[in-house]
Structure 1
Amino acid sequence: MDHRFQVNLRGVIDLLSHHLYSSPGVFVRELLQNATDASRARRNLEPAHQGEVRVELIEKQDGGPPTLLFQDDGVGLTEEELHRFLATIGESSKREALEAHRGDFIGQFGIGLLSCFMVCDELLVVTRSVKAEGRETWEWRGRQDGTYSVRPSEHPLARPGTQVFLIARPDAAEYFTHERVRQLALHYGSLLPFPLQLTAHGRTEHLNPTPPPWRRAYESAAERRQALLAHGREVFGMDFVDCVPLRAEAGQVEGVAYVLPFSPHFQSRQTHRVYLKDMLLTERAENLLPQWAFFVRCVVNAQGLRPTASREAFYEDATLASARDALGQCLRQYLVDLATHEPRTLQRLIALHGLSVKALALDDDDFYRLVIHWLPFETTLGMMTLEHYRQGSPTVRYVTTLDTFRQVSRVAAAQGLCIINAAYTHDAALLEKLPRVLPNARVEVFSAAQLPQGLEELTAEEHEGVARLRRIAEEALESFGCEVSLKKFLPAEVPTLYGDVEEGAFQRDLERAREESDSLYASLLEGTQDKAPPQERPQLCFNLRNPVIRRLARVRDTAQLRLSVEMLYVQALLLGHRPLNAREMALLNRGLLGLIESRLGDDEDTGSLH
């Protein structure tokens, strides 16, 4: 034996109010939606029908609870339709009777009217169908306990349409004030294509006199931009940097994206104000734009997307995916146009959202391709975009630490060598990703040890003149594992260049930590160093263009020459921001004391105490 499911209306209403709808105020949206759909349905039958929606707040003279009246001149309902559509949960007049025009209607689920029971205990619907032969007026009275009644009305309507009466429940009185009703009606219905009138305290106000700004005609692009920005300020309560018109054939979406004046985290999902068939759907839509479009907030109206049952989001399907791609293309084209016609504006935009742009580019290959060449990088030749860099060099060279960049920047710049400082957040990872996304790109990590390789070599005569300096320097620095070379390079005021290999800084830190640790931890570090592969030795390059180095090559005093070499070695380490180990600190102290003693000795030879 089969049995029918039983529906507890109170339980369903509790489900709607606590789990499906975001606020009891959505009853205004549901009633405006039903009125709008009824007007659209009548227009399908009578194309010349104009349609209008009226909302009236009726306050009792005796202080009783106020009543809200929602009235339309739409298609209306017959007696059979009242039983079928208003008393059957999940049944919708848009589902079968008007299947040919289903795409015209907002409501599709047959549960919207139940939202009224979140603010009232009884609901009265008075309706006259445009299709009924006798044009009878019927009353449908529904109650929160799940009962309803249908009867002919004692007050026939003069024309087809529907009236819905709601009497405020005490705990919902806040939704029956003029200010709240006006705010909710404007909130949900400001874009409705039918006139929306609100009557209260004997006055009637037209709430939607103008179409949305993206549908209006303007005399110039500047005027249009100002109007769109003003609309964004009104909707979101902030001034935006710029605005981008949006349009997608899939889902028939149109609207505006506003560029945020601050930089949100790239993983934060921006919420957008979205209308469905001119009725506000939600202000928290998250799946309408691509994830990489974190820097905009938009207002859009869709005609052909599917709402969820709560009508506060869109159903994820192929149409929504196509619309999302098309809207993303609008934003991509906006960035491309900026790059072509307003590069300074694009640079300001990237500067504002720089860190988030870089982070998202690492996660999204399409977005990476879009923005990577516009991103600015610090180089030895100044700030420049990657596009500018690649125009002058087929291979992108970069260093990964700020110390290395400081070490090579002056000398590299003097030689016209462009090296990127990728020590900033995400920069190294972005450059490493370049050949994976763009197969024709070449990148390489640059080390200070490579810099001397491109410097000017000495002549045979110069080699002979500095042979003694080279020999003494090699002997002095052998115990420090540092090789010696002599070259000529600019700027001339730089006497030496310390060229460390890529892992050199790590090895120096490891050695210093071992020196400063107890015996147990030092032995662990010793084991780590022993397992590391052998590295190229760092190099101290002497600059023969420097006057001090040329004079040093002529010094005959071996001790003085050795001391000078050691001090130049320590100076090069300090200029390269390399931490000194214990032996190097001892070398610095010994060198300073030696210079002081030498100076004091000169003074004793040339003067006396008084």
Structure 2
Amino acid sequence: MELRGLIELLSQHLYSGPHVFIRELLQNGVDAIQARRQIEPKHEGAIEIEVVTSEESDPTIIFQDNGVGLTEAEVQQFLATIGQSSKRGEATSRPDDFLGQFGIGLLSCFTVSDEIIVLTRSAKGENQPGFEWRGSTDGTYSVRKLTEMIPIGTQVFLQPSTGYEDYFELQRILKLTRDYGSLLQPKISLTSNGKTDVINAKSPWQQDLTNPQVRENLLAYGTEVFDRNFLDVFPLHSTSGGVTGVAYVLSEAVHAGSSQPHRVYLKNMLLSTKSHDVLPEWAFFVQCIVNATQLHPTASRESFYDDTVLERTRDELGDCLRRYLVEMAQTQPRRFEQLIAVHHLAVKALAADDDECLELFADLLPFQTSLGTMTLGEFRKQNPVVRYVPSCDQFRQIAQVAASESLAVINAGYVYDVDILTRLSRIRPDFTLEEFDAVQLADRFEQLSQREREETLEFERLADLTLQRFKCAVEIAKFLPSDLPSLYVTDGNADFFRSVEQAQDVTEGVWSDMLGDLTRDAPSSYARLYLNYSNSLIQRICQLGQAEGQRRSVEMVYIQALLLGHFPLKKSEIKLLNEGLLGLLDWAVGGQNND
């Protein structure tokens, strides 16, 4: 492979962008300093970056470390590393050491520069000479022995390729260097025009979070890093991945399918600002800043391999979050209630899979009910039997009527709710759970008196015949609230038939026939429309004495009941709505003319 082709491969497929050359140079410097400390354990490492600007020429970046440097033999090996990366030929194994990493890491500089100049002098032995290596994107390189003495370590000189000048601007280099290197251990400095900035900062996970001032400082740090506010911060730790860090609790609620980007370091070098795989899926309400020492990076060093080590790490970090919630619930209940008010969905996600957390958190979890939102604990104080409906559509059908009857029913149509309630009924002997539906609610309706039954009998038959083609039976009853004209009630079979018919509306030919086959052997079931005789409009329709007007009115009440229950209309029902409105207008106008 030609060197230019390799550079394009690195830039377009391996690395996320040319900016990673700063990270690779920092990594080479850190590795070199570590290697020198094996010879000189007390060596104080340092990395110095200088940006030289002038009006006559392009800016130059000088990247210098006082690490182990390269001997003459290592320079030749370095050339071989570059060569076998850029030339076709017999494959040979690249040594898994600093030198091999230095070779492939240095190639990233070719994404922003046409030429790389390296000056290096080894710390191995006394009076080691220095060497200069020059490499170009055309695949050529040269090496010469230096006559003058240079400091032990390595210096890299870069000038921008055409179109990449913005990567050599001081503020951009300063930002990239701080992003990647602020938590590294060797002293790192950046100098330009006589001004020097120290890059290093203290790791957030090395501070005492029990100190209130430290906690406030960390919250401010999180806001600066993630550009959002947080409710709380707590420590993270994992033995498996060698992970330490902090997690920030979001100040606003997020949906269950969201995934927060985390800031992840590997051995104090920034790996990614958009990592999504270090925490369990249920931990979608926190963002974290963590440093790992034993996780395995991918070839691009911008994410981790999803292996068993990462899986164990993810579980252990999830345990940290779980302990944080448990301890808060036990020792700071008011603070925990504030957290649940924002993140009850995430706590429900945890409780749905963890019996201990379920026992601890269940009574504090909020649920929507026919009598308003309340915690499960508040609900159970007032209702020994926990009645629920498993879908939001069913809840919409019964909510008004149930509230008027002072009947408390939980809407368990949201994610995790049914799982939590059913698990509680298994682990708590005093927890009585009952699935509720609109048919049971109808059993509570007041029946008409004998006189009212006789007065409405003919109308009920007409209404029943009117809605036969929609597989809906009609019954007249009294129920609250009185301003609700009707209630549309279905069961599982009726819902199934209705969904098949809706699917047939948007299909044709063989697919429509196949859908029809699904209902051939299924037991037929009718929905039911309850007309509320406590409602003045229904009473007037019953007493109308004009069959056509009654028929049109029943059709419109039927459509309104569907819409109130949030049932999507079938084609035949949309047609009925249009015809019914026009028919009522025509009937009303005709009636006016007859008068």
TM-score by length of 1: 0.69
What does 1:99-178 correspond to in 2, within 5 Å?
108=101, 110-158=103-151, 160-178=152-170
Partner SS for 2:171:
helix
Residue 102 of structure 1: aligned partner? none
**1:244–1:257 contact (8 Å) kept in structure 2:** yes
Residue 245 of structure 2: aligned partner? 255
Which structure has the greater CA radius of gyration?
Answer: 1
73 and 444 in structure 1: CA distance in 2 versus 1, 3 angstrom threshold:
same
Q: Which amino acid is 1:213 matched to? A: P
What does 1:214-233 correspond to in 2, within 5 Å?
214-217=205-208, 220-233=210-223
Aligned length: 519
Candidates 171, 192, 201, aligned match of 1:179: 171
User: Per-residue CA shift, 1:434-470, capped at 9, x if unaligned?
Assistant: 577667287544234424757999xxxxx9xx77777
**1:496–1:540 contact (8 Å) kept in structure 2:** no
What does 1:17-36 correspond to in 2, within 5 Å?
17-36=11-30
What does 1:563-582 correspond to in 2, within 5 Å?
578=561
**2:178–2:199 contact (8 Å) kept in structure 1:** yes
Residue 337 of structure 2: aligned partner? 344
User: Per-residue CA shift, 1:545-567, capped at 9, x if unaligned?
Assistant: xxx9xxxxxxxxxx99x969xxx
1:37 aligns with 2:27: no
What is the alpha-carbon distance in structure 2 between the residues aligned to residue 344 and residue 126 of structure 1?
Answer: 61
Q: Which amino acid is 1:202 matched to? A: G
What is the alpha-carbon distance in structure 1 between the residues aligned to residue 196 and residue 400 of structure 2?
Answer: 76
Candidates 284, 287, 291, aligned match of 1:294: 284
**2:260–2:286 contact (8 Å) kept in structure 1:** yes
Q: Which amino acid is 2:20 matched to? A: V
User: Per-residue CA shift, 1:11-41, capped at 9, x if unaligned?
Assistant: 1112112222222221111111111111122
What is the alpha-carbon distance in structure 2 between the residues aligned to residue 32 and residue 247 of structure 1?
Answer: 26
**Deviation for aligned residue 1:129:** 2.0
What is the alpha-carbon distance in structure 2 between the residues aligned to residue 496 and residue 272 of structure 1?
Answer: 50
What is the alpha-carbon distance in structure 2 between the residues aligned to residue 431 and residue 85 of structure 1?
Answer: 61
What does 1:214-363 correspond to in 2, within 5 Å?
214-217=205-208, 220-262=210-252, 266-340=256-330, 341=333, 342-350=335-343, 361=349
Residue 103 of structure 1: aligned partner? none
What does 1:346-425 correspond to in 2, within 5 Å?
346-350=339-343, 361=349, 366=353, 373=362, 375-386=365-376, 388-389=378-379, 392-398=383-389, 400-413=393-406, 417-422=407-412
1:72 aligns with 2:65: yes
**1:307–1:315 contact (8 Å) kept in structure 2:** yes
**1:377–1:420 contact (8 Å) kept in structure 2:** yes
Candidates 14, 21, 28, aligned match of 2:8: 14
**Deviation for aligned residue 1:264:** 5.2
What is the alpha-carbon distance in structure 1 between the residues aligned to residue 50 and residue 38 of structure 2?
Answer: 27
What is the alpha-carbon distance in structure 2 between the residues aligned to residue 222 and residue 148 of structure 1?
Answer: 57
1:200 aligns with 2:201: no
Candidates 508, 519, 524, aligned match of 1:533: 524
What is the alpha-carbon distance in structure 2 between the residues aligned to residue 96 and residue 505 of structure 1?
Answer: 68
22 and 406 in structure 1: CA distance in 2 versus 1, 3 angstrom threshold:
closer
What is the alpha-carbon distance in structure 2 between the residues aligned to residue 33 and residue 130 of structure 1?
Answer: 19
What is the alpha-carbon distance in structure 2 between the residues aligned to residue 279 and residue 320 of structure 1?
Answer: 18
**Deviation for aligned residue 1:211:** 0.8
Same amino acid, percent of matched pairs: 41
User: Per-residue CA shift, 1:352-407, capped at 9, x if unaligned?
Assistant: xx5xx59x959x96489968945522223431234554575454322743553344
**Deviation for aligned residue 1:574:** 7.7
RMSD over equivalenced CA pairs, Å: 5.1
What is the alpha-carbon distance in structure 2 between the residues aligned to residue 343 and residue 212 of structure 1?
Answer: 28
> Which piece of structure 1 moves more, 467-476 or 133-142?
467-476
User: Per-residue CA shift, 1:486-531, capped at 9, x if unaligned?
Assistant: 9xx9x9x979998875449979x99xx9xxxxxxxxxx9xx99998
**Deviation for aligned residue 1:50:** 2.4
**1:256–1:298 contact (8 Å) kept in structure 2:** yes
Q: Which amino acid is 2:8 matched to? A: D
User: Per-residue CA shift, 1:295-333, capped at 9, x if unaligned?
Assistant: 333322211211111111112211111112222233333
**Deviation for aligned residue 1:96:** 4.8
31 and 254 in structure 1: CA distance in 2 versus 1, 3 angstrom threshold:
same
Q: Which amino acid is 1:319 matched to? A: V
367 and 126 in structure 1: CA distance in 2 versus 1, 3 angstrom threshold:
farther
> Which piece of structure 1 moves more, 437-446 or 39-48?
437-446
Partner SS for 1:54:
strand
Q: Which amino acid is 2:161 matched to? A: R
What is the alpha-carbon distance in structure 1 between the residues aligned to residue 459 and residue 114 of structure 2?
Answer: 97
What is the alpha-carbon distance in structure 1 between the residues aligned to residue 184 and residue 260 of structure 2?
Answer: 25
Q: Which amino acid is 1:49 matched to? A: H
Q: Which amino acid is 2:72 matched to? A: E
What does 1:571-610 correspond to in 2, within 5 Å?
578=561
**Deviation for aligned residue 1:56:** 1.3
Partner SS for 1:382:
coil
What is the alpha-carbon distance in structure 1 between the residues aligned to residue 444 and residue 256 of structure 2?
Answer: 41
**1:126–1:162 contact (8 Å) kept in structure 2:** yes
**1:281–1:313 contact (8 Å) kept in structure 2:** yes
Residue 188 of structure 1: aligned partner? 180
What is the alpha-carbon distance in structure 2 between the residues aligned to residue 394 and residue 309 of structure 1?
Answer: 57
What is the alpha-carbon distance in structure 2 between the residues aligned to residue 537 and residue 70 of structure 1?
Answer: 80
What is the alpha-carbon distance in structure 2 between the residues aligned to residue 97 and residue 59 of structure 1?
Answer: 31
What is the alpha-carbon distance in structure 1 between the residues aligned to residue 94 and residue 492 of structure 2?
Answer: 76
Partner SS for 2:81:
coil
What is the alpha-carbon distance in structure 2 between the residues aligned to residue 111 and residue 436 of structure 1?
Answer: 56
> Which piece of structure 1 moves more, 146-155 or 22-31?
146-155
118 and 202 in structure 1: CA distance in 2 versus 1, 3 angstrom threshold:
same
Gaps of at least 5 residues in structure 2 are: 86-91, 465-473, 502-512, 545-552, 564-575, 585-595
**Deviation for aligned residue 1:190:** 1.0
What is the alpha-carbon distance in structure 1 between the residues aligned to residue 144 and residue 131 of structure 2?
Answer: 6
Q: Which amino acid is 1:343 matched to? A: F
467 and 255 in structure 1: CA distance in 2 versus 1, 3 angstrom threshold:
same
**2:385–2:434 contact (8 Å) kept in structure 1:** no
**Deviation for aligned residue 1:128:** 2.3
**2:112–2:161 contact (8 Å) kept in structure 1:** yes
439 and 50 in structure 1: CA distance in 2 versus 1, 3 angstrom threshold:
farther
Residue 51 of structure 1: aligned partner? 45
Gaps of at least 5 residues in structure 1 are: 1-6, 99-106, 458-462, 514-523, 549-558, 565-569, 589-610
157 and 499 in structure 1: CA distance in 2 versus 1, 3 angstrom threshold:
closer
**2:368–2:374 contact (8 Å) kept in structure 1:** yes
191 and 443 in structure 1: CA distance in 2 versus 1, 3 angstrom threshold:
same
Q: Which amino acid is 2:314 matched to? A: R
94 and 45 in structure 1: CA distance in 2 versus 1, 3 angstrom threshold:
farther
**1:335–1:346 contact (8 Å) kept in structure 2:** no
114 and 540 in structure 1: CA distance in 2 versus 1, 3 angstrom threshold:
closer
Partner SS for 1:88:
helix
Q: Which amino acid is 1:214 matched to? A: W
537 and 290 in structure 1: CA distance in 2 versus 1, 3 angstrom threshold:
closer
**1:51–1:73 contact (8 Å) kept in structure 2:** yes
What is the alpha-carbon distance in structure 2 between the residues aligned to residue 221 and residue 81 of structure 1?
Answer: 50
